[in-house]
Amino acid sequence: MSANAHAYEFNAIDGAALPLSQFAGKVVLVVNTASKCGLTPQYDGLEALYSDYRDQGLVVLGVPCNQFMGQEPGTEAEIKDFCETRFKIDFPLTAKTDVKGETAHPFYKWARDQLGEPAEPVWNFHKILVGKDGAALQAFGPRTEPQADEIVAAIKAAL
């Protein structure tokens, strides 16, 4: 396992490489997302967080995942269109990715290793905060709204 998140790479929703090292020096909120979930309206709060803090160095990274009751069944193109059209999402999105279990992306295995059980996604819109140096800082459960005081405070402290 790597010492920090910057060693890991996702595929972007458009198929390009998306190395987390490109976010070195920035704070990253990694969120597994789904288009057909009761929590999908959190996209609004995530975009607002990104809009409010991007100039200070925050990146929100959406990780579409179909592991929770098949709530992200679409193709990457459908997901991208849904996010941009319905929620005006401007933050980066990865390709569909597994976030739990044996097939979990290595970043998620690393985060669990770093933060323990709280970093294991139990549902869509689970959030993991990564510091400027790539350290795993904190995990937030799916029902914690993106603009909740505890998330905003953790982001501000990390910035």
What per-residue confidence (pLDDT) applies to 131?
98
Characterize the bridge pairing of strands 9-11 and 17-19: antiparallel
Position 61 scores a pLDDT of 98
- Domain architecture of the chain: domains with CATH: 5-158 (3.40.30.10)
Active-site residue 65, yes or no? Answer: no
Q: How many angstroms separate the CA atoms of 150 and 155, rounded?
A: 9
Q: Which residues pair with 59 in a beta bridge?
A: 28
Q: What is the pLDDT of residue 153?
A: 98
Low-confidence ranges of the chain (pLDDT < 50): none
* 19 vs 100: CA distance, rounded Å: 20
Question: What is the tens place of the pLDDT at every residue in 45-76?
Answer: 999 999 999 999 999 999 999 999 999 999 99
Say what the pLDDT of residue 41 is.
97
Rg (CA), the chain: 14
Give the model's pLDDT for residue 136.
97
Distance between CA atoms of 24 and 36, rounded to whole angstroms? 32
Query: What is the distance between the alpha carbons of residues 58 and 61, in angstroms, rounded to a whole number?
Result: 10
pLDDT at 2: 74
Q: Catalytic: which of 20, 37, 83, 111?
A: 37
pLDDT of residue 3: 83
